[in-house]
């Protein structure tokens, strides 16, 4: 590569910043990271050759502040800026400001971003080009009454969608006219917070659709190619959860037609750089949704099947080079699938999880396994940014092999210290409909109860694994005495220790027996010899009876997460000397489940609220969360107002239970 720039500033954070740094380093390009106060110790900061502080944690004052980022590039002598994805990646003003400062913007021109970055403008352009569109409204008149009338014309159900949006933010489904006003208000609030633009469009909501997108690339010499399609159908709240390439159920003819339409869309605006043309598909055909004028979160699955580095392509095209390959030279091999690992609690409505990562264990990379992350053990996950921790990307000879390898890899991915969606992803990867490729965008919501169901009743081997984890937890001492030994040695007689675990669906119990001859474990009516060895990799070899199993175990306080050959378990060790805990939810108080800002309040003191009725909306990690009344009662007090920031556990409202007749 003949470089017009030797130093690259990355105007982003987290895993995408780390991923760009790796490619730039391989190409001999120096890198500059930017960081907010919340990211001073972040992985991307330590990986870069230089780093510049750009402000406090709120994105509007740091990662969305164009002037600060341009100043950081000029100060460090960076000749180019890579925007990553999210934040300013599809902001034409940022592209213009970069070019005005004499800095290369690694992405399309401001004109292309303007043409395709707005969903409304893109739909108008595609309509003129003859690309099939979902019926809807993408006009400039944003009056509530006009939007309501257009929704009525299109016919319910409709999707209310942020024109400047992405990542599932600023989107609501209105099933009927009664739902429309609330859906519009919620989508506007979220769009304004995430993108600084509350312009809305209306689309007919297609029932049971598939989401197919095509990776396109253009250069400044007039060439445009496609790099096959990706299936992004498995979604929750319009946020992609699993992505794969190629699509599970497209014929070669369908694949060629949808890729041809994507190339035509990119060519119509003289597109330069990486972009993604997104379609919704069903049995009747496919329809253009939008074009994302940036690199996508899910780009690694395309890299896995093509063997190409799309960030390298971006840097080469930005440097003025031609595309490295022509369309007929681009080939694919095998199948790839990606899951997004989030700091969130699926059992509590997928609320974001905040805290320090106490332990991080991942499957070894290589042999078709790739992990992109911006976190490591000891890092803090804060409420200020998207809660994605990592992307696990798997490649296999075919789809069945890729999914099987994905399930096994998820079994051995552990993050302790906060809740994650790993158990949910593990269940999803093994769901029969996913395995068969019979998917639509509503599958996760329909199957959510089963996907969140805890593992089956623990087997004796699982209880033995948990018991060994407790016994192995005692730290080694420099000069252990016989009383510190954990091999069961006794001078005479025997000693018994009861272990009790809360398993989520109930309890698991075992008795550890210390006697001459070693340790024994009583599980129900069975008594098994028990011994274990600590391994150098932190895992345990557990021998119960005549069976040896290797388990991975992580502690966070009294919470134990461990993986056995039968599955993943999250248990809590109970102090059997204490009484029952008091009900933390008693008293009719509504508490903040995570740090965040109050965005809307639905009730006033004195109102009677029913169980499940919305009381207020909190915003955390760029997403809104509705908090509902825990029981029928009278709202006695509201402790905070709209705009207030509250900490996790804050007492938000007091609800006096209604008296019931005896």
Digit-coded pLDDT (tens) for 304-345: 999 999 999 999 999 999 999 999 999 999 999 999 999 998
pLDDT at residue 632 tops 70: yes
Q: What is the mean pLDDT of residues 482-489?
A: 45
Check residue 314 and give its pLDDT: 98
> Minimum mean pLDDT among 153-162, 331-340, 643-652: which range?
643-652
Please give the Cα distance from 413 to 406 (Å, whole number): 11
Q: What is the mean pLDDT of residues 177-183?
A: 95
Which span out of 213-217, 467-471, 501-505, 591-595 was modeled with the highest average pLDDT?
213-217
Please give the Cα distance from 148 to 95 (Å, whole number): 35
Q: Report the share of the chain in percent with pLDDT over 90.
A: 61
* CA triple 338-340-342, angle to 5 deg: 165
Structure tokens at 619: 């915003």
pLDDT in tens, 405-453: 999 999 889 888 888 999 899 999 999 999 999 999 999 999 999 999 8
Please give the Cα distance from 662 to 658 (Å, whole number): 12
pLDDT at residue 480 tops 50: no
pTM score, whole prediction: 0.77
Task: Give the total residue count for the chain.
Answer: 662
Please give the Cα distance from 146 to 154 (Å, whole number): 12
Give residue 22's pLDDT band: very low, low, confident or very high (50, 70, 90).
very high
Residue of 210, 294, 405, 568 marked active site: 294
User: Regarding predicted confidence, which is higher, 112 or 485?
Assistant: 112
Structure tokens at 400: 């069945």
Check residue 575 and give its pLDDT: 65
Check residue 492 and give its pLDDT: 54
Alpha-carbon dihedral sign for residues 37, 39, 45, 46: positive
Q: What is the mean pLDDT of residues 183-191?
A: 93
Check residue 615 and give its pLDDT: 92
Structure tokens at 467: 């018991």
pLDDT at residue 37 tops 90: yes
User: Regarding predicted confidence, which is higher, 560 or 625?
Assistant: 560
Specify whether the CB–CB gap between 85 and 296 falls below 8 A. yes
Check residue 504 and give its pLDDT: 74
pLDDT at residue 584 tops 50: no
Please give the Cα distance from 567 to 562 (Å, whole number): 9
Give residue 579's pLDDT band: very low, low, confident or very high (50, 70, 90).
very low
Q: What is the mean pLDDT of residues 497-513?
A: 87
Q: What is the mean pLDDT of residues 482-497?
A: 57
Please, what are the domains in the chain? 7-106 (3.40.50.20), 135-204 (3.30.1490.20), 212-229+240-451 (3.30.470.20), 460-574 (3.30.700.40), 589-657 (2.40.50.100)
Using the structure block, give the residue that is written with the tokens 């965005």.
599
Specify whether the CB–CB gap between 436 and 403 falls below 8 A. no
- Nearest Cα neighbor of 509 from 418, 573, 552, 453 is 573
Check residue 493 and give its pLDDT: 62
Please give the Cα distance from 35 to 365 (Å, whole number): 28
Give residue 454's pLDDT band: very low, low, confident or very high (50, 70, 90).
low
- Nearest Cα neighbor of 271 from 108, 155, 122 is 108
| 515 has catalytic annotation | no
Q: What is the mean pLDDT of residues 115-135?
A: 78
pLDDT at residue 107 tops 60: yes
pLDDT at residue 582 tops 50: no
> Minimum mean pLDDT among 196-210, 528-542, 610-624, 631-645: which range?
610-624
Check residue 365 and give its pLDDT: 94
- Nearest Cα neighbor of 211 from 249, 173, 251 is 249
Please give the Cα distance from 551 to 411 (Å, whole number): 10
- Nearest Cα neighbor of 217 from 261, 258, 274 is 274
> What region does 462 belong to: left with phi over 0, alpha with psi -120 to 50, or beta?
alpha
Check residue 218 and give its pLDDT: 97
Give residue 481's pLDDT band: very low, low, confident or very high (50, 70, 90).
very low
Check residue 484 and give its pLDDT: 41
pLDDT in tens, 67-77: 999 999 999 99
Check residue 474 and give its pLDDT: 62
Check residue 485 and give its pLDDT: 45
Give residue 1's pLDDT band: very low, low, confident or very high (50, 70, 90).
low
Specify whether the CB–CB gap between 590 and 627 falls below 8 A. yes
pLDDT at residue 131 tops 70: yes
Specify whether the CB–CB gap between 95 and 114 falls below 8 A. no
The string of DSSP letters for 530-599 reads EEEEE-TTS-EEEEETTEEEEEEEEEETTEEEEEETTEEEEEEEE-TTS-PPP-TTTTSEEE-SSSEEEE
pLDDT in tens, 236-291: 988 899 999 999 888 899 999 999 999 999 999 999 999 999 999 987 788 898 89
Q: What is the mean pLDDT of residues 297-310?
A: 98
pLDDT at residue 2 tops 60: no
Mean pLDDT of the residues in the chain:
88
Please give the Cα distance from 524 to 536 (Å, whole number): 32
């Amino acid at each position: 590569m003949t470089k017009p720039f030797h130093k690259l500033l990355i105007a982003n954070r987290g895993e995408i910043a780390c991923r760009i740094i790796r490619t730039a380093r391989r190409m001999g390009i120096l890198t500059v990271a930017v960081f907010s106060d919340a990211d001073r110790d972040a992985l991307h900061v330590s990986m870069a050759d230089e780093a510049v502080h750009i402000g406090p944690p709120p994105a509007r004052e740091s990662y969305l502040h164009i002037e600060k980022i341009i100043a950081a590039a000029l100060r460090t002598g960076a000749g180019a800026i890579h925007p990553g994805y999210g934040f300013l990646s599809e902001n034409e003003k940022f592209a213009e400001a970069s070019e005005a400062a004499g800095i290369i913007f690694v992405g399309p021109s401001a004109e292309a971003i303007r043409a395709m970055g707005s969903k409304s403008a893109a739909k108008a352009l595609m309509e003129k080009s003859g690309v099939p569109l979902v019926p809807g409204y993408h006009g400039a008149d944003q009056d509530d009454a006009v939007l309501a009338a257009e929704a009525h014309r299109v016919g319910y159900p409709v999707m209310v969608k942020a024109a400047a949006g992405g990542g599932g933010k600023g989107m609501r489904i209105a099933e009927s006219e009664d739902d429309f006003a609330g859906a519009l208000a919620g989508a506007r609030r979220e769009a304004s917070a995430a993108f600084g633009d509350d312009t809305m469009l209306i689309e007919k909501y297609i029932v049971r659709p598939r989401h197919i997108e095509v990776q396109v690339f253009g250069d400044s010499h007039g060439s445009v190619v496609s790099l096959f399609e990706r299936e992004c159908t498995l979604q929750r709240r319009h946020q992609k959860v699993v992505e794969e390439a190629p699509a599970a159920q497209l014929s070669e003819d369908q694949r060629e037609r949808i890729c041809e339409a994507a190339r035509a869309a990119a060519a119509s605006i003289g597109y330069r750089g990486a972009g993604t043309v997104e379609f919704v598909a069903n049995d009747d055909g496919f329809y253009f949704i939008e074009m994302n004028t940036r690199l996508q979160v899910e780009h690694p699955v395309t890299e896995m099947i093509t063997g190409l580095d799309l960030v390298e392509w971006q840097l080469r095209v930005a440097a003025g080079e031609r595309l490295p390959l022509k369309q007929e030279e681009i080939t694919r091999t095998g199948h790839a699938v990606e899951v997004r690992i989030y700091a969130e609690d699926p059992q509590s409505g997928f609320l974001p999880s905040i805290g320090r990562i106490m332990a991080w264990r991942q499957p070894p990379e290589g042999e078709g396994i790739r992990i992109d992350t911006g976190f490591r053990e000891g890092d803090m996950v804060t409420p200020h940014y998207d809660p994605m921790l990592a992307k696990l990307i798997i490649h296999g000879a075919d789809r069945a092999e890729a999914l099987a390898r994905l399930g096994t890899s998820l079994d051995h991915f552990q993050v302790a210290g906060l809740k994650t969606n790993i158990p949910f992803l593990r269940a999803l990867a093994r769901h029969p409909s996913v395995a068969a490729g019979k998917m639509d965008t509503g599958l996760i919501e329909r199957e959510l109860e089963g996907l969140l169901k805890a593992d089956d009743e623990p087997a004796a081997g699982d209880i033995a694994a948990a018991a060994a984890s407790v016994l192995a937890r005692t730290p080694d001492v420099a000069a252990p005495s016989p009383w510190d030994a954990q091999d069961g040695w006794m001078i005479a007689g025997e000693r018994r220790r009861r272990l009790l675990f809360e398993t989520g669906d109930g309890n698991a119990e075992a008795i550890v027996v210390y006697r001459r001859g070693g340790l024994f474990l009583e599980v129900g009516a069975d008594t098994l010899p028990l011994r274990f060895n600590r391994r150098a990799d932190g895992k345990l070899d557990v021998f119960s009876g005549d069976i040896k199993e290797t388990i991975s175990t992580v502690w966070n306080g009294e919470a134990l997460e461990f993986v056995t050959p039968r599955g993943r378990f999250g248990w809590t060790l109970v102090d059997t000397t204490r009484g029952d805990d008091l009900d933390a939810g008693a008293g009719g108080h509504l508490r903040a489940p995570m740090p965040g800002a109050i965005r809307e309040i639905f009730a006033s003191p004195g109102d009677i609220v029913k169980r499940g009725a919305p009381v207020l909306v909190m915003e955390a990690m760029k997403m809104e969360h509705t908090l509902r009344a825990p029981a029928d009662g009278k709202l006695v007090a509201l402790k905070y107002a709209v705009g207030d920031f509250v900490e996790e556990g804050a007492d938000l409202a007091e609800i006096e239970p209604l008296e019931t007749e005896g």
